[in-house]
Amino acid sequence: MSPARRVPVDSRVYTPAPGEESDVEPMPAGDVTDGVVRVGGTVRRPHQPQSLAVAEYLDWLEDAGFEGSPRFLGRDPRGRDVLTFVPGQCAGSPPEAWAQSGDLLASVARLVRRLHTASAGFVPRAHPFPPRPFPRSPVRPNPTDAAGLICHLDITPQNVVVRDGRATGVVDFDLAGPATAFHDSLNTAMHWVPLRDPADAWPGWEDQDPFRRLRIFADAYGWTEEERRRVPGAGIDAAALSYERMRHNAATLGGGWARMWDDGVGGLIRRRQDWLAANAGPLVTALTT
């Protein structure tokens, strides 16, 4: 839709089609947001503090020609956010064997690159993203990073839509906010390679080679030589932040955050951090030679 014809996100109302409300199917449960359902050709999600900032971002992506994100259609009579359903399949938790395909991994990297290109220039105005909870990012700013890019920041296998073996869409923009393309792409690689202690491999993923997979991702996304050399250090910094943030959220927000913490996500993150530190040299070698 042309930007001029759009209703502002805070007054956009979705009127269901006749009969639509009876075609309801629960969506696979994530870790935090309860109550996500498909209704007809739409997805309904609880309205959240970041919803309007996300809605503006989704409008921007549509105008920028990015095809892979849902459209924000407004709020339904129950106040829920209404988004278009992105057709395809998302991986489960833990991800199935089909999600191991190297071609799929490369297509994820290319999708993220297209998302970043489309995001360039978006500056939230009417509805800024709520600040991320304490602790603030200790990630060291790098002078070569393009600062101030709004990013997705949660491109997990469960949040990527796959069609015919290729990543075609991305959903669940709940964690979107200002970051850098390098940070978001490294975060995606962390989820998709995945970068974790081999002791924490998902069932059926034990034989996957993280060095080979990281190289596939790096080449498909197009990390520069300098970015490749920064991967271990930036990954260690990101793990340290993630540990503090998860602990903080579990203590202050409870719910799914507390469930994940009780299930041992803190230990998993610490082991990732140690694995990255122990394998810093081989990781850079795999990425640069």
Closest CA relative to residue 14, chosen from 55, 69, 68: 55
Residue 68 in the binding site for ligand ATP (CB under 6 A)? no
Residue 32 in the binding site for ligand ATP (CB under 6 A)? yes
Residue 122 in the binding site for ligand ATP (CB under 6 A)? no
Locus of tokens 């810093």: 280
**Composition of the chain by helix, strand, coil, percent to 5:** 45, 10, 40
Among 70, 177, 194, 210, binds ligand ATP (CB under 6 A): 70
φ/ψ (deg, to 5) at 26: -65, 145
Please, which residues bridge with residue 13 across strands? Answer: 75
Residue 36 in the binding site for ligand ATP (CB under 6 A)? yes
Stated as kind and residue range, the H or E segment containing 168 is strand 166-170
Nearer to ligand ATP, 86 or 149 (CB): 86
Sign of CA dihedral 173, 213, 186, 135: positive
CB of 238 to Mg ion, least distance (A): 19
Residue nearest to ligand ATP (CB): 30
- Binding segment for ligand ATP among 15-23, 30-38, 108-116, 273-281 (CB under 6 A)? 30-38
Nearer to Mg ion, 175 or 218 (CB): 175
Look at residue 216 and give the partner it binds from Mg ion, ligand ATP, none, a contact being a CB closer than 5 to 8 Å depending on partner kind: none
Paired tokens of 229: 């050399």
Going residue by residue from 173 to 212, which x/- string records binding to Mg ion, judged by CB under 5 A? ----------------------------------------
Q: Identify residues 150-189 at the interface with ligand ATP (CB under 6 A).
A: 158-159, 161, 171-172, 174
Among 172, 184, 227, 237, binds Mg ion (CB under 5 A): 172
Please, which residues bridge with residue 235 across strands? Answer: none
Paired tokens of 237: 């910094």
Going residue by residue from 8 to 27, which x/- string records binding to ligand ATP, judged by CB under 6 A? -------------------x
Residue 31, helix vs strand vs coil: coil
What is the rounded distance in angstroms from the CA atom of residue 236 to the CA atom of residue 182? Answer: 14
CB of 150 to ligand ATP, least distance (A): 18
Q: How many residues does the chain have?
A: 289
* Cis-peptide, bond into residue 141, ω within 30° of zero: no
**If you count DSSP H runs as helices and E runs as strands, how many of each does the chain have, helices first?**
8, 9
Residue 70 in the binding site for Mg ion (CB under 5 A)? no
Residue 95 in the binding site for Mg ion (CB under 5 A)? no
Question: How far are the Cα atoms of 20, 228, 242, 271 from residue 190, in angstroms, in the given order?
Answer: 39, 14, 12, 13
Could you list the residues that contact ligand ATP (CB under 6 A)?
27-33, 36, 43, 45, 70, 83, 85-86, 90, 158-159, 161, 171-172, 174, 256
Could you list the residues that contact Mg ion (CB under 5 A)?
30, 158-159, 172
